[in-house]
């Protein structure tokens, strides 16, 4: 069994980090794994016990299943490990009145999720504790304690490397939260500037020349030059293939300031509210006899 202890600081606010931690759906978990590079190949949410609310958008309690393929350079030598675990996320308050974010994962046995010997996947066990505290403005203190048993005959050095890779990916949570905000604004608050203009919407530089690097902001569609835009790589789920894709985009500096000013807490609350409305609508739509019959056949 690998025993790991990691502590340090990451950039961002506590709400930023917790927004990056939360992944209530399998799709979000896959996108997060792709962004932080955790070597996780597949995810499934087996059951949701506690749902997030508008008042507590980072709260969640779920039973999940995940497959870890290990480092790509070692996959020809190392068999995949899968884990069935209880995952709990949320915020609490210390005895001193400080807000503390937590993320706990603990392996459990679920009768409906047997080991996948036929796929040559080894069932591992783990217990991970993550604690986050706002140390100062823009700096979050992190504490991670992990007990991971990858089982099988994996050499200790490789087992330690595989375990450490997943634990220390927490340092990317702030950047991942920023990308999630950018995706949210792109999906729900997209504006439109004159994309046919030959002048940068920020510095008004003439971009009509053949050598001018003219780009369109993914948020406002405005024409911008390279100096007035920020390149970003977006990880998102393809609606056609249901796999994670990477797309390079440009964001103009005014829209980037909007992204940075947008509160992760408010975005998380808006997501919960929107999901609640969509769930309510789906319940109403399936209340008719014909819809209920169709749903029963789908199951």
Q: Compute the distance between CA of residue 105 and CA of residue 126 in angstroms, rounded to an integer.
A: 7
Name 143's Cβ contacts closer than 8 Å, sequence gap at least 6. Answer: 6, 7, 129, 130, 131, 132
pLDDT score of 142: 94
Closest to 244 measured CA to CA, from 181, 191, 176: 176
The token duo for 20 is: 């990056």
Chain segment 140-171, per-residue pLDDT in tens: 999 999 898 888 777 777 777 766 766 667 88
| Phi, psi at 167, each rounded to 5° | -75, -45
Q: Compute the distance between CA of residue 271 and CA of residue 275 in angstroms, rounded to an integer.
A: 6
Chain segment 212-267, per-residue pLDDT in tens: 788 889 999 889 999 999 999 999 998 888 889 999 999 999 999 999 999 999 99
Name 206's Cβ contacts closer than 8 Å, sequence gap at least 6. Answer: 198, 199, 212
CB neighbour burial string for 86-112, b if at least 16 within 10 angstroms, e if fewer? bbebbbeeeeeeeebbbbbbebeeeee
Whether the per-residue pLDDT at 299 is higher than 60: the answer is: no
Chain segment 124-134, per-residue pLDDT in tens: 999 999 999 99
E-strand ranges in 17-93 read 40-50, 60-68, 81-93
Q: Please give the domain boundaries of the chain with CATH numbers for all domains.
A: 2-173 (3.30.530.20), 181-269 (3.30.40.10)
Name 113's Cβ contacts closer than 8 Å, sequence gap at least 6. Answer: 46, 65, 84
- Model pTM score: 0.85
Chain segment 54-70, per-residue pLDDT in tens: 999 999 999 999 998 87
Chain segment 195-218, per-residue pLDDT in tens: 677 899 999 998 887 777 888 899
Three-state secondary structure call for residue 122 = strand
The token duo for 13 is: 């606010």
281 confidence band (pLDDT: 50, 70, 90)? low
Query: Which residues lie across from 223 on neighbouring strands?
Result: 216
Q: Compute the distance between CA of residue 75 and CA of residue 50 in angstroms, rounded to an integer.
A: 35
């Amino acid at each position: 069994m690998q025993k790991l202890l990691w502590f340090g600081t990451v950039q961002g606010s506590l709400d930023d980090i917790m927004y990056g931690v939360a992944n209530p759906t399998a799709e979000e978990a896959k996108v997060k794994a792709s962004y932080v590079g955790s070597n996780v190949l597949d995810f499934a949410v087996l059951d949701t016990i506690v749902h997030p609310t508008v008042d507590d958008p980072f709260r969640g309690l779920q039973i999940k299943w995940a497959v870890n393929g290990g480092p790509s350079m070692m996959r020809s030598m190392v068999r995949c490990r899968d884990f069935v675990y209880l995952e709990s996320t949320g915020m609490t308050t210390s005895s001193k009145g400080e807000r503390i974010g937590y993320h706990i994962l603990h392996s459990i046995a679920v009768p409906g999720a047997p080991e996948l010997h036929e796929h040559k996947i080894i069932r591992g066990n783990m217990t991970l504790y993550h604690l986050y505290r706002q140390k100062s403005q823009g700096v979050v203190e992190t504490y991670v304690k992990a007990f991971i048993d990858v089982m099988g005959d994996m050499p200790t050095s490789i087992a330690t490397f595989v375990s450490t890779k997943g634990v220390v990916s927490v340092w990317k949570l702030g950047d991942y939260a920023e990308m999630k905000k950018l995706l949210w604004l792109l999906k729900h608050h997209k504006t439109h500037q004159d994309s046919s203009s030959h002048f940068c919407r920020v510095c008004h530089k003439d971009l009509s020349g053949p050598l001018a690097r003219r780009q369109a902001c993914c948020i406002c569609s405005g024409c911008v030059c390279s100096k007035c835009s920020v390149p970003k790589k977006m990880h998102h789920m393809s609606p056609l293939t249901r796999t994670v894709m990477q797309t390079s985009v440009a964001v103009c500096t005014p829209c980037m300031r909007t992204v940075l000013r947008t509160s992760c807490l408010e975005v998380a609350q808006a997501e919960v509210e929107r999901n609640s409305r969509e769930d309510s609508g789906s319940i109403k739509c399936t209340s008719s006899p014909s819809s209920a019959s169709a749903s029963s056949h789908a199951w």
